Amino acid sequence: DGRCQAGNHLNQNLPAALRSAGYANPYHTWWLFPVSVEDTGTLVTRLRFAGFDATASSTQLCALQGENGPCPESAQFMDGTVYLPLYASIGTANLERMAEVIRHHDEALVTEPVEEDPELAAVPLAK
């Protein structure tokens, strides 16, 4: 079906760390397409600015409670979840645009390495 093709196409255009939860599952309907990122508010704003109706809230989905509370990894994933709009008629060009917004968001969060001050850099000692 078109929604399954759209979900598979979007996942193929995202790095593995940004793909939808459970992307390796061979059976999907993609009725929901969650990705987990840092700074969900900024990504949702960027996606909406690009014309995509994304959201970072859900009243029905949460990390399940265990004996000691929710699993920390599950809670962290849910705190960073953005739900992407995905439907059969979205079109390849829109999927690629959406993937670009998500990839750019992830790249923008990677901090640049700090260059050492030449005066403080290690100096090799002569023998």
pLDDT in tens, 23-44: 888 887 887 888 989 899 999 9
pTM over 0.95: no
pLDDT at 10 over 80: yes
In a domain, residue 114? The reply is: no
3-class secondary-structure state, position 82: strand
Q: Phi, psi at residue 42, to the nearest 5°? A: -65, -40
For residue 123, pLDDT beyond 70: no
Return d(Cα 75, Cα 10) in angstroms, integer: 24
Q: Any idea what the CATH number is for the domain that residue 104 is in?
A: 3.90.1150.10
Domain count, the chain: 1
Tens digit of pLDDT for each residue in 71-106? 878 778 788 889 999 999 999 999 999 999 999 987
At residue 117, the pLDDT reads 43
Question: What token pair was written down for 1?
Answer: 């079906």
What DSSP string describes 29-47? --S-EEEE-S-HHHHHHHH
Asked if residue 116 is part of any domain, the answer here is no
Decide if 22 is inside a domain: yes
| Cβ proximity of 35 and 102 under 8 Å | yes
